[in-house]
């Protein structure tokens, strides 16, 4: 024991419950563990990306390019966005944290839907801002009217998670545009599109057009999900030059490492591979929904690479524990703001079959 005193707000910063961790640890003990808890891609990166990392590995005696120039120029090309408004981060989580640090004062308010990404409550807790969590509607979707109504003079930031993690639901870019028209320009709106490539309601790039209409909008995307590079931690924000400059000020200069920059730049050249992952994901999504429905379970209308399964009156930790003992790791809803639910990522067909078999066994 030491008598070191940490900051007072540390105790208010949330973390994953130990329950989730122990289930995952149990699953990892199993010989052929099926990891369906973190919405990663089950497929390894394409050879060209692995080769790019290998080539870059010989240069890691040097610091990475602090401006991530090559990667940011490739992003500017791919997403047709001005270079000065492109921020890259050590995962998009770093950009969320940096945005909070750059924008939130203790008296200010941050508006987001709930349940949404487990990181969002962290932003308020880390800055002492006031969180305004707006409940999802009964279809597990963002209630955009209620979110618009929650904005006050003190609101500094609004987060929209689309498709929403953990429920998978999607709102159209038209609906987001209508919301943005109602949000005053003093509010920075972050549209967190970590899973946007997986939705099939509209062109995944439809929302980019909103950037031309709303200077207070930032679109956040990541290489961790559809691009399949979760282990390298690269995310990016498309927004104003002011936003990019602000997040750069509050964080360390070399946050995106050299291997990550090389891999992400190469991955952008393989859009056909992203398209293949997305097509595969649609097939698995339909298969899983069919199987879960046959087991008598209700699932939210997912447009992501995971599903949100209602367990009804079954005991959530018992189900999660039994799945873990069968070597299948899923995320319990309790840790994500939705007790009584499971969030299950789509794996390969063989992995999904193992999950469905194990779940059928648990449900009896
Ligand atoms: C996974 C995820 C992210 C991105 O994570 P990084 O790996 O930090 O890029 C961002 N937002 C949501 C909603 C996510 O689920």
What is the per-residue pLDDT across 107-161, written as a single tens digit (0 to 9) for each? 999 999 999 999 999 999 999 999 999 999 999 999 999 999 999 999 999 999 9
- Residue at a domain's end among 240, 267, 294: 267
Q: In 10 A of CB 261, how many CB atoms?
A: 23
For residue 131, the enclosing domain spans: 47-267
For residues 153 and 277, membership in a common domain is answered with no
Given this model, what pLDDT does residue 17 score? 54
| Tokens matching residue 170 | 């999607």
Q: Does residue 358 belong to any structural domain of this protein? A: yes
Q: Does residue 2 belong to any structural domain of this protein? A: no
Per-residue confidence at 14, pLDDT binned at 50, 70, 90? Answer: confident
Q: Could you tell me if the CB of 192 is within 6 A of ligand 1?
A: yes
For residues 29 and 113, membership in a common domain is answered with no
For residues 177 and 262, membership in a common domain is answered with yes
Q: Can you tell me whether residue 158 is helix, strand or coil? A: strand
Given this model, what pLDDT does residue 15 score? 75
Are 56 and 63 within 8 A, CB to CB?
A: no
- Residue at a domain's end among 243, 267, 291: 267
Residue 295 Cα, ligand 1 centroid: separation in angstroms? 30
For residues 191 and 293, membership in a common domain is answered with no
Are 143 and 136 within 8 A, CB to CB?
A: yes
Partnered with residue 132 across adjacent β-strands are 111
Q: Could you tell me if the CB of 224 is within 6 A of ligand 1?
A: yes
The Cα–Cα gap between 172 and 178 comes to: 10
Cis, bond preceding 163 (omega within 30 deg of 0): yes
Please state, for a pLDDT cut of 90, what percent of the chain lies above it: 91
CATH of the domain at 14: 3.90.1150.10
Take atom 1 of ligand 1 and give the residue whose Cα is closest. Answer: 194
Better-scored residue on pLDDT, 240 or 27: 240
Q: Could you tell me if the CB of 117 is within 6 A of ligand 1?
A: yes
For residues 40 and 84, membership in a common domain is answered with no
Q: Is the pLDDT of residue 16 over 80?
A: no
Are 172 and 305 within 8 A, CB to CB?
A: no
Q: Is the pLDDT of residue 196 over 50?
A: yes
Average pLDDT over residues 320-334: 95
Tokens 């994953």 correspond to what residue? 16
Reported as a single tens digit per residue, the pLDDT across 94-121 is: 999 999 999 999 999 999 999 999 999 9
For residues 285 and 204, membership in a common domain is answered with no
For residues 248 and 160, membership in a common domain is answered with yes
For residues 255 and 284, membership in a common domain is answered with no
Take atom 3 of ligand 1 and give the residue whose Cα is closest. Answer: 194
Partnered with residue 236 across adjacent β-strands are 88, 221
**Domains in the chain: how many in total?**
2
Q: Does residue 128 belong to any structural domain of this protein? A: yes
For residues 51 and 39, membership in a common domain is answered with no
Q: Could you tell me if the CB of 165 is within 6 A of ligand 1?
A: yes
Q: Could you tell me if the CB of 291 is within 6 A of ligand 1?
A: no
For residues 308 and 165, membership in a common domain is answered with no
Q: Does residue 3 belong to any structural domain of this protein? A: no
**Ligand 1, atom nearest to 234 Cα:** 9
pTM score, whole prediction: 0.96
Reported as a single tens digit per residue, the pLDDT across 269-302 is: 999 999 999 999 999 999 999 999 999 999 999 9
Per-residue confidence at 13, pLDDT binned at 50, 70, 90? Answer: confident
The Cα–Cα gap between 228 and 53 comes to: 14
Q: Does residue 334 belong to any structural domain of this protein? A: yes
Take atom 14 of ligand 1 and give the residue whose Cα is closest. Answer: 194
The Cα–Cα gap between 189 and 247 comes to: 15
Residue 2 Cα, ligand 1 centroid: separation in angstroms? 35
The Cα–Cα gap between 112 and 157 comes to: 9
Q: Is the pLDDT of residue 51 over 60?
A: yes
CATH of the domain at 145: 3.40.640.10
- Residue at a domain's end among 246, 267, 288: 267
Residue 92 Cα, ligand 1 centroid: separation in angstroms? 6
Are 25 and 215 within 8 A, CB to CB?
A: no
Q: Does residue 26 belong to any structural domain of this protein? A: yes
Reported as a single tens digit per residue, the pLDDT across 22-35 is: 666 666 666 688 99
The Cα–Cα gap between 323 and 34 comes to: 10
Q: How far apart are the first and last CA of the chain?
A: 47
Are 191 and 164 within 8 A, CB to CB?
A: no
Tokens 């994500």 correspond to what residue? 336
For residues 199 and 62, membership in a common domain is answered with yes
For residues 86 and 193, membership in a common domain is answered with yes
Q: Does residue 18 belong to any structural domain of this protein? A: yes
Residue 89 Cα, ligand 1 centroid: separation in angstroms? 11
Are 99 and 247 within 8 A, CB to CB?
A: yes
């Amino acid at each position: 024991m030491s008598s070191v005193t940490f900051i007072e707000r540390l105790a208010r910063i949330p973390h994953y419950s130990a329950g989730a961790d122990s289930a995952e640890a149990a699953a990892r003990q199993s010989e052929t563990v099926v990891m369906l808890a973190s919405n990663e891609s089950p497929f390894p990166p394409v050879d060209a990306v692995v080769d790019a990392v290998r080539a870059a590995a010989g240069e890691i005696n040097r610091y990475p390019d602090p401006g991530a120039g090559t990667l940011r120029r490739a992003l500017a090309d791919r997403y047709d966005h001005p270079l000065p408004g492109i921020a890259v981060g050590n995962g998009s989580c770093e950009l969320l944290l940096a945005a909070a640090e750059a924008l939130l004062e203790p008296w200010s308010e941050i508006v987001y839907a709930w349940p949404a990404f487990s990181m969002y409550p962290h932003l308020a807790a880390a800055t002492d801002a006031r969180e305004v969590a707006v409940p999802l509607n009964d279809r597990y979707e963002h209630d955009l009217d209620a979110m618009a109504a929650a904005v006050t003079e003190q609101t500094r930031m609004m987060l929209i998670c689309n498709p929403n993690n953990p429920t998978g639901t999607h709102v159209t870019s038209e609906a987001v545009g209508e919301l943005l028209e109602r949000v005053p320009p003093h509010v920075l709106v972050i549209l967190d599109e970590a899973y946007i490539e997986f939705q099939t309601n509209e062109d995944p790039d439809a929302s980019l057009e909103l950037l031309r209409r709303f200077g207070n909008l930032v679109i956040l995307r990541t290489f961790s999900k559809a691009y399949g590079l979760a282990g390298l931690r690269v995310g990016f924000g498309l927004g104003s030059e002011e936003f990019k400059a602000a997040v750069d000020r509050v964080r360390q200069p070399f946050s995106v490492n050299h291997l990550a920059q090389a891999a992400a730049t190469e991955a952008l050249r393989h859009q056909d591979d992203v398209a293949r992952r997305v097509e595969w994901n649609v097939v698995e999504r339909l298969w899983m929904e069919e199987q879960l429905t046959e087991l008598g379970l209700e699932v939210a209308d997912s447009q992501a690479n995971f599903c949100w399964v209602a367990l009804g009156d079954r005991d959530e930790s018992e189900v999660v524990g039994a799945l873990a003992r069968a070597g299948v790791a899923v995320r319990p809803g309790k840790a994500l703001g939705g007790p009584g639910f499971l969030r299950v990522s789509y794996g390969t067909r063989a992995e999904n079959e193992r999950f469905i078999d194990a779940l059928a066994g648990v449900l009896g």
